[in-house]
Structure 1
Amino acid sequence: METITRVGVDLAKNVMQIHAVDGMEHVVVRKAVRREHFLSWFANLQPCLVAMEACSAAHYWARRLRALGHQVRLLPPQFVAPYRKGGAQTKNDAQDAEAVCEAAGRPNMRFVPVKSPAQQSVLVLHRMRTGFVEERTALVNRLRGLLGEFGVFLPQGINQLRKHLVEHIEDGNNELNGQARQALMRGWAQWQTLDDEISWLDRQIGDHAKHDSQAQRCMELCGVGTVTASAAVATIVDAAQFKNGRQMAAWLGLVPKQNSSDGKQRLGRITRQGNDYLRTLLFQGARSAVLTAPRRNDRLSRWIVQLQARVGYSRTRVAVANKHARVLWAVLARGERFDPSHAPARHGGAASA
């Protein structure tokens, strides 16, 4: 076998597709390997570059391959798709592996840092919490809708429903019969169980944020609490991978879409690409920062107040989320502490202007 320099892998549950090339970009190996033989195949290979899409189990396999001495690169799936022959109409595992191998050889390709087991463990807490919150929201909407079928209409808001649900279920003046009341009370018991699970996960996430120095620095930013700080530290992995804060904001989908041509810039809505969960948390934190900005007198808060007066609440919230992403980059990449009165340095003509 000729010397393999780069391997593209299409991961799957049971069968992995491998596409390997040599230094002259000639195809050396194109084959499928079952999961139980995957690591042994690479153990008999000289150390080389192994590329995979950042998908399910990719970080686990990346850690195992690194332990064998290989250099591993994880690629965002959207960066691999343009290199697939035939486009989206002719997709199969062999073409996916070839596209991964080709994309990994591009000199300006961007990669996803490999997460450690500790970072993935923290993200397990966040994903379980998100799942429980979604289940609770669905259950609350179901209970409200079922009660409405019997003419029992409750005020909007989860806290209002939590406060008045049981008394309306037990009210003998409505049309509910015994079986319906029992079913709704079981729904109420399930709601309480979900509340307990979410509270436990909140405490675990809070403990992580409390004992992590990077998360502690992130929480100095107004609008960034324990959940956002913990998620940022576990998700971003290495903020130094971004050249500046704007790159990280773009990675989170907090910059405008561009449709520019012929020297004319046309900017639209934000891209909403990247990590949905972390972007949602930043928007929630931005809402808090915008609402409380009039009560503070630091430079950042004055900017928020002035911006809201000029462009309105919704655009201000987007701008603040973008600003928070940039500040988090400085905190995580440079190890700096947040200073709400910090004024960015100006250079050249901007300073004299």
Structure 2
Amino acid sequence: MVTNRTLKREKFLAWCAELPAGCLVAMEACSGAHHWCRQLRARGLDARMIAGQFVAPYRIQGKNGKNDANDAAAVCEAASRPHMNFVLPKTLTQQGMLCVHRLREALKQERSGCINRIRGLLAEFGIVLPQTPAVLRRHLSEIVEDASNDIASMARLVLQRAQEHWQELEAHIQWCDERVAAHRKDDEQVQRAAELKGVGALTASAVVATVGDFKQFKNGAQFGAWLGLTPKQNSSGGKNNLGNITKRGSNYLRTLLIQGAKAAVFVGKRNDDPISQWVQRLRERGGWQKAVVALANKNARILWAVMTGNKRYDAHHVSAPPVGAMPAAT
């Protein structure tokens, strides 16, 4: 150890400027890490980020000894491992689009809360509607203006304000959808990703903005594992025990892929392409839940192949067996 000191934020870059060119600077991938990584790389330093789940095992004191000094020591230890996987820094364009997706998700949650709040207020006065936003939207104005019901005058004003807030949230979500549509129109990668069955414009935009360079993964299987779509292993003594999916990586991306795969599974019987027929056979054998996760994992692998190969998606493509593989049983 050469030095061990605490630096304030405004003095960090000035201190890093004194480091020799190419010096390795390791940090945990957290809020603001991509900004610092870009700043350090612009100054000729080899800045790298490590996912928090890969840093924690190197903390000698374990969970009970978590503090800034121990975390810094764990980051240094993790960065020195030859097998460590580092996080690529995101560009400004990537982070800009991810801001749109995060805002949209927050607005959706706020919209759900607003709708539930309106339902609760109506239920206080004995008015209960079917649990469908479209029905509530269609009848809310009539209920507020109907003087024959038992809603208090102050409650009517509250419901009007809540309705205006709901409409404002819908307008904000529509703005986010327009930004996603513009991203698809301007980005050729998003256009190619959106061609997959079960991958729409929203999922394609999120995948491209999150991953950036798909060549950071060796193959499609590694990309699927990075998304947490592969089963957990608890194997020992040559016996392989597989459980549920790991659910590692981005919850947002994994949710989008699974939701899109769910829609594709339920309409797949109308299509005659090999993937749709495969997922229908899998659905008959193991149920639709397993078929949905399997299709999400397959879509992740196809996304990697399409992006790294710089080609268009072909629904009727049949993969060639690898050289030296055993012939299929007849």
Given the two structures, how large is their TM-score scaled by the length of structure 1? 0.90
Identity of paired residues, percent?
51
Runs of at least 5 residues in structure 1 that lack an aligned partner in the other structure:
1-26
Moved more, 154-163 or 76-85: 154-163
Question: In the TM superposition, what whole-angstrom CA distance separates every residue of 1:147-194 from its partner, at most 9, and x where no partner exists?
Answer: 112211111122222222222233333321010011011000000000
Equivalent residue number for residue 350 of structure 1: 326
Cα drift, residue 315 of structure 1 = 1.2
* Aligned residue among 23, 35, 42 for 2:16: 42
Q: 2:269 is paired with a residue of what secondary structure? A: helix
Cα drift, residue 341 of structure 1 = 1.4
Equivalent residue number for residue 175 of structure 1: 150
Do 1:132 and 1:194's aligned partners in 2 also have CA atoms closer than 8 Å?
Answer: yes
Structure 1: distance between partners of 2:282 and 2:312: 24
Q: 1:300 is paired with a residue of what secondary structure? A: helix
Structure 1: distance between partners of 2:130 and 2:72: 54
Aligned length: 327
Equivalent residue number for residue 64 of structure 1: 39
Equivalent residue number for residue 7 of structure 1: none
Structure 2: distance between partners of 1:259 and 1:38: 43
**Code of the aligned partner of 1:83:** Y
Structure 2: distance between partners of 1:222 and 1:319: 13
Alignment of 1:50-89 (within 5 A): 50-89=25-64
Q: 1:28 is paired with a residue of what secondary structure? A: coil
More strand by share: 1
Equivalent residue number for residue 21 of structure 1: none
Do 1:151 and 1:174's aligned partners in 2 also have CA atoms closer than 8 Å?
Answer: no
Q: 1:69 is paired with a residue of what secondary structure? A: coil
Structure 2: distance between partners of 1:114 and 1:159: 42
Structure 2: distance between partners of 1:127 and 1:103: 30
Cα drift, residue 352 of structure 1 = 4.9
Equivalent residue number for residue 132 of structure 2: 157
Question: In the TM superposition, what whole-angstrom CA distance separates every residue of 1:215-272 from its partner, at most 9, and x where no partner exists?
Answer: 1110111221111111010101211111111111111111111111111111111111
Quick check: 1:33 aligned with 2:7?
A: yes
**Code of the aligned partner of 1:143:** I
Structure 1: distance between partners of 2:229 and 2:316: 23
**Code of the aligned partner of 2:327:** A
Structure 2: distance between partners of 1:55 and 1:318: 28
Cα drift, residue 96 of structure 1 = 0.7
Q: 2:283 is paired with a residue of what secondary structure? A: helix
Cα drift, residue 349 of structure 1 = 4.2
Question: In the TM superposition, what whole-angstrom CA distance separates every residue of 1:10-63 from its partner, at most 9, and x where no partner exists?
Answer: xxxxxxxxxxxxxxxxx1111111111100001011020011111000000000
Alignment of 1:277-292 (within 5 A): 277-292=252-267
Equivalent residue number for residue 314 of structure 2: 339
Question: In the TM superposition, what whole-angstrom CA distance separates every residue of 1:200-229 from its partner, at most 9, and x where no partner exists?
Answer: 110011101111011111011122111111
Q: 1:31 is paired with a residue of what secondary structure? A: coil
Runs of at least 5 residues in structure 2 that lack an aligned partner in the other structure:
none
Given the two structures, how large is their TM-score scaled by the length of structure 2? 0.96
Quick check: 1:301 aligned with 2:264?
A: no
Do 1:300 and 1:340's aligned partners in 2 also have CA atoms closer than 8 Å?
Answer: yes
Quick check: 1:209 aligned with 2:145?
A: no
Structure 2: distance between partners of 1:286 and 1:236: 19
Equivalent residue number for residue 264 of structure 1: 239
Cα drift, residue 351 of structure 1 = 2.6
Structure 1: distance between partners of 2:137 and 2:198: 27
Question: In the TM superposition, what whole-angstrom CA distance separates every residue of 1:105-151 from its partner, at most 9, and x where no partner exists?
Answer: 10000011100011101111111111111100111111112211221
Q: 2:115 is paired with a residue of what secondary structure? A: helix
Q: 1:126 is paired with a residue of what secondary structure? A: helix
CA RMSD of the aligned region, Å?
Answer: 1.2
Quick check: 1:94 aligned with 2:94?
A: no
Q: 1:265 is paired with a residue of what secondary structure? A: coil
Equivalent residue number for residue 313 of structure 1: 288
Equivalent residue number for residue 276 of structure 1: 251
Structure 1: distance between partners of 2:248 and 2:121: 37
Cα drift, residue 277 of structure 1 = 0.7
Displacement over 3 Å in runs of 4+? none
